[in-house]
Amino acid sequence: MSAPEIFQLSLGPLTGIAFSPDRSQVCVCPNSNEAQIYTRNGDSWDLTDTLAEHDKLITAIAWGPNTNRIVTCSQDRNAYVWTQTEQGWKPALVILKINRAATSVKWSPHENKFAVGSGSRIIAICHFDEENNWWTAKQIKKPLRSTVLSLDWHPNNYLLAAGTADGKTYVYSGYIKGLEAKPEATIWGDRLPTGQLLAEFRSPNGGWIHDVSFSPSGDALAFVAHDSSLSIIYASGPNEPPAAHIVVKLPALPFTNLTWTSESSIVAAGHDCQPILFTGSQSGWAISHSLDDPSSTSKPLTPSATGLRSGGGVGRLGNNEAFNMFKAADSKGQRGLAPSGATPSSAGLTPVGPDGLLLTVHQNTITHVEAYEWNQSGEVSKIFTAGRDGRLVLWPVTGGKGLAGRMAGLQV
């Protein structure tokens, strides 16, 4: 195991990110209406392609690992499916029929369809229409009352989970007649016409659901909400209440993203700028540790990369060394820099260094957490995170609970 790999891909936020099937390329949106494809070149990334078709900010990108197609969706209410040809990436229009921004997109596991969430209280399940040579959508509207913020497909290719801004997570049937074989009964439900609502769950304090995710087996569903909570639901059978509905309330700021790394572990990250590993089972879940341990990392926090940001912008004044020095002199009468705040006084605060920079690798909210690499047993061994600081970080997922697991992750 090694230290995390850190890449500064953009000076601004990354609003969408997806890796190519072989991980040699990454498609990101640097907070604009264009998606960029970078190709890995040793320790750096070279810009090789630009996908320009959208008029407004791209909100999400998904890259099908089997079919090698990219789908992008944007605030301009459109989505495009990009196919690689001899002459570069070619877009195909998707007829979404939505009147607000598209917010999230996910390929189904078999990649014969994808789902797009939107601000017009609609989930569009899109599939290819051979006749017209475009992608058309079947819409799910009920009972959505607000913007759909996140989506995730069940591994069986039929069920779809959606997290919304009204604080609810829904499980739907995403079956499309005429496109695929009739689905068999699942643990979430047995009648599965298109758009059938199978289950709904509320966040504990009514916070927006930022991200939902099915476990690798599909029998459990996890979501993170803006009330600093992580909820895990274990289904028991069609039309039955869930076998377990576990809520973990956190002392820290809310998570915006999560991914299952195995059937008994989840990595979640968000506004406190560090990916945190949770472990548990049907009987309960708890924080195991942070993958980003400031006290154990010896690496320099890439000052060159952060130096680039000196333009700063509004609200970044707190990260300025000179500013902090004068602030300390003013408020505390200190001549030098403030003492290192490695141990914050309150529970759940992100540690800040003497120079005002966060001691975590990410310097701003993490907005994407996804699996990067799997080991032989099918568990995730590496994840990637990307955030508002424009950084892409590849993290080894260090062992589970206890010292033995952690020691295995050490370099000898």
Partner 1 sequence: MSEYAFRKINIDALEEDVLLPSDLYDPDPRGPDGVLGDAQRKAGEVRNLVSRGDIPGALNAILSEPPYGDGVDEAKDLTTTSLLLILNSTRASEIPTILKSLGQEQQDHLMAYIYKGMAAIGQGSDVSGSVLLNWHAQLTEVAGVGCIVRVMTDRRTL
Q: Are 18 and 69 in contact (CB under 8 A)?
A: no
Q: Which of residues 323-362 bind partner 1 (CB under 8 A)?
A: 345-349
CB of 249 to partner 1, least distance (A): 5
Q: How far apart are the first and last CA of the chain?
A: 10
By CB under 8 A, name the one of 12, 88, 241, 251 that touches partner 1.
Answer: 251
Cis link prior to 143 (omega < 30° from 0)? yes
By CB under 8 A, name the one of 252, 369, 383, 393 that touches partner 1.
Answer: 252
Rounded to 5 degrees, what are φ and ψ at 319? Answer: -95, 10
Q: Under rule CB under 8 A, how many of the chain's residues touch partner 1?
A: 26
**Starting from the edge strand earliest in sequence, which strands make up the sheet with 209-214, in order?**
209-214, 220-225, 229-234, 244-249
Contact between 226 and partner 1 (CB under 8 A)?
yes
Nearer to partner 1 among residue 79 and residue 224 (C-beta):
224
Contact between 277 and partner 1 (CB under 8 A)?
no
Nearer to partner 1 among residue 104 and residue 229 (C-beta):
229
Nearer to partner 1 among residue 6 and residue 287 (C-beta):
287
Q: How are beta strands 134-140 and 88-95 bridged, if at all?
A: parallel
CB of 258 to partner 1, least distance (A): 16
Contact between 227 and partner 1 (CB under 8 A)?
yes
By CB under 8 A, name the one of 97, 100, 191, 249 that touches partner 1.
Answer: 249
CB of 203 to partner 1, least distance (A): 8
Token couple for 357: 């920079």
Nearer to partner 1 among residue 169 and residue 186 (C-beta):
169
By CB under 8 A, name the one of 56, 145, 191, 332 that touches partner 1.
Answer: 145
Site mask for partner 1 (CB under 8 A), range 150-169, x = bound = ----------------xx--
By CB under 8 A, name the one of 65, 109, 155, 207 that touches partner 1.
Answer: 207
* Dihedral, CA of residue 303, residue 306, residue 312 and residue 316, to nearest 10: -80
Q: Which of residues 98-127 bind partner 1 (CB under 8 A)?
A: none
CB of 122 to partner 1, least distance (A): 12
325: DSSP letter: H
Question: In sequence order, what DSSP letters do the residues of 203-231 get, joined into one string?
Answer: -TT---EEEEEE-TTSSEEEEEETTTEEE
Q: How are beta strands 16-19 and 229-234 bridged, if at all?
A: unpaired
Nearer to partner 1 among residue 199 and residue 380 (C-beta):
199
3-class SS at 33?
Answer: coil
CB of 308 to partner 1, least distance (A): 29
By CB under 8 A, name the one of 205, 296, 340, 375 that touches partner 1.
Answer: 205
Piece of 73-81, 90-98, 198-206, 355-363 that binds partner 1 (CB under 8 A)? 198-206
Nearer to partner 1 among residue 251 and residue 318 (C-beta):
251
Q: Are 367 and 15 in contact (CB under 8 A)?
A: yes
What is the Cα–Cα distance from 96 to 195, expressed in whole angstroms?
A: 16
CB of 246 to partner 1, least distance (A): 13
What is the Cα–Cα distance from 221 to 78, expressed in whole angstroms?
A: 29
Contact between 290 and partner 1 (CB under 8 A)?
no
- Going from the C-alpha of 322 to that of each of 305, 328, 363, the distances in angstroms are 18, 10, 18
Piece of 17-25, 30-38, 223-231, 299-307 that binds partner 1 (CB under 8 A)? 223-231
Contact between 318 and partner 1 (CB under 8 A)?
no
Q: Which of residues 358-387 bind partner 1 (CB under 8 A)?
A: none
CB of 271 to partner 1, least distance (A): 9
3-class SS at 174?
Answer: coil
Sequence-separated (6 or more) residues with CB below 8 Å from residue 31: 10, 12, 13, 14, 15, 57
Question: b/e string for 312-330 if b means 16 or more Cβ within 10 A?
Answer: eeeeeeebbeeebbebbee
By CB under 8 A, name the one of 10, 15, 228, 231 that touches partner 1.
Answer: 228
Q: Are 117 and 104 in contact (CB under 8 A)?
A: yes
Instruction: List alpha helices for 171-314, DSSP H.
Output: 303-307
| Residues within the interface to partner 1 (CB under 8 A) | 145-146, 166-167, 202, 204-208, 225-229, 249-254, 345-349
